[in-house]
Amino acid sequence: MTQSGKLRMGMVGGGPGAFIGAVHRLCLAMDGDFDLVAGAFSSDPEKSRLAGEELGLDPARVYPSWQTMVEKESGLPEDQRIQAVSIVTPNHVHHGPTLAFLEHGFHVICDKPLTTSSKLAEAMADAVQNSGRIFALTHNYTGYPMIREARELVRSGQLGAIRKVYAEYLQGWLADKLEDSGQKQAEWRTDPERSGPGGSLGDIGTHAFNLLEHVTGATMDRVLATRTMFVPGRPVDDDAMALFEMSDGSNGSLICSQVCIGRENGLRLRVFGTEGGLEWDQEHPNDLRVHWKNRPTELRRTANPYLSAPALSLGRIPPGHPEGYLEAFANLYRAFARAIRNQEDLEDAFPTVIDGARGVRFIEAVIRSSDQGSWVEL
């Protein structure tokens, strides 16, 4: 620990021009559990240096590559080296750093999707198991209070046997070939060498997939899917649709698209059982609509005392005050810190490497189904 009792954190990625790195830095600091003390912020050593300078870090702890960071941090005394690392790189640079940092005894929290192939995902899962260290994956929507309330409603049996599940994630920012303009976020997300084989599937489809399994507690067994590259010349999908069947006997559909003009971040989940149903919309994250067979629909709101204890534990401010994306991210970092410290927490307080590996298999199953025109098992 640092003198303040905080865990010492390093970061790989998140340098100049990055979006998600700044989000991670805000959220790892929100509860005072971590001090960011080291990093390899870019594959360009000069950009990494500039990022460290801007963050006020000791220049000796700002590294030109993640490989150098592993070597140098491992050589520091135990009371000085980092204890955990946050990996916020493009998808193709998740696997290598994860394995190296785990091998040298560091805990890892990594941005989604887990990696670019199921073979690499299996290697990462084996490395986590063999290391005895904590690994968390930042599917941040699982950190929303009303998603935890939805999960409690489903898993307590209050909605009865689940029959139908619908998940959609609609955006419009890639409706044109933005990657040709030099926009960094569009460039790597549409490059299969960096994003992996899934475009919208990897970027947002895996969020929808993770969310529906997290809430229902069931696993997706098989899919019948199609994917499309609507923008000419784009080598990865910018739109995909899948029918699916779940392990609990329910079925439904998952849609992800980044060409729906006017949609900003339209992640939505609907679950229907024999006794009731629920609906949650990420653009209105403090609201959860709950439907009942023989009584009026309820609107449940974040931080109100009628919520379940797990949902209340994820709220941070009084009812009526907006909270959402950053706070949900911070909830995962807080849970990660608690796991490192071996403190009690919620069940499934953060997505694991196993959840991440399932997300990669989902991407591959959708691609195979689309190519074959048939049902495919995950």
> Amino acid letter at 220?
M
**What is d(CA 277, CA 293) in angstroms, rounded to the nearest whole number?**
9
Dist. CA 344–CA 355, nearest whole Å? 21
**Percent of the chain scored above 90 by pLDDT?**
97
* Bridge partners for 144 per DSSP: none
Please report, as a single letter, which amino acid is at residue 299: L
Mean pLDDT, consecutive 10-residue segments, the chain of 378 residues?
A: 80 93 96 98 97 97 98 97 98 98 98 98 98 98 98 98 98 98 94 97 98 98 98 98 98 98 98 98 98 97 98 97 95 98 96 98 98 98
Helix (H) or strand (E) holding 47: helix 45-54
CA distances (Å), 21 to each of 39, 110, 111, 338, in order?
A: 11, 11, 9, 22
pTM, two decimal places = 0.96
Token pair listed for 29: 């600091």
CA angle, 285 then 240 then 182, to 5° = 85
**Do residues 243 and 208 make contact, with C-beta atoms less than 8 angstroms apart?**
no
* Topology match between the domains 7-140 and 143-317+352-377: no
Domain boundaries of the chain, sorted by first residue:
7-140, 143-317+352-377
Task: Note the pLDDT of residue 17.
Answer: 84
Share of residues in the chain with pLDDT > 70 (%): 99
Question: Nearest CA to 147 among 262, 280, 7, 291?
Answer: 280
Helix (H) or strand (E) holding 102: helix 95-103
Q: What is the pLDDT at residue 1?
A: 60
pLDDT digits 0-9 by tens, 23-52: 999 999 999 999 999 999 999 999 999 999
pLDDT of 4: 63
Q: Yes or no: is domain 143-317+352-377 CATH 3.30.360.10?
A: yes
Write the CA distances from 120 to 115, 116, 225, 359, 361, integer angstroms. Answer: 7, 7, 23, 12, 11
For 7-140, CATH number?
A: 3.40.50.720
User: Tokens in use for 360?
Assistant: 């990669």
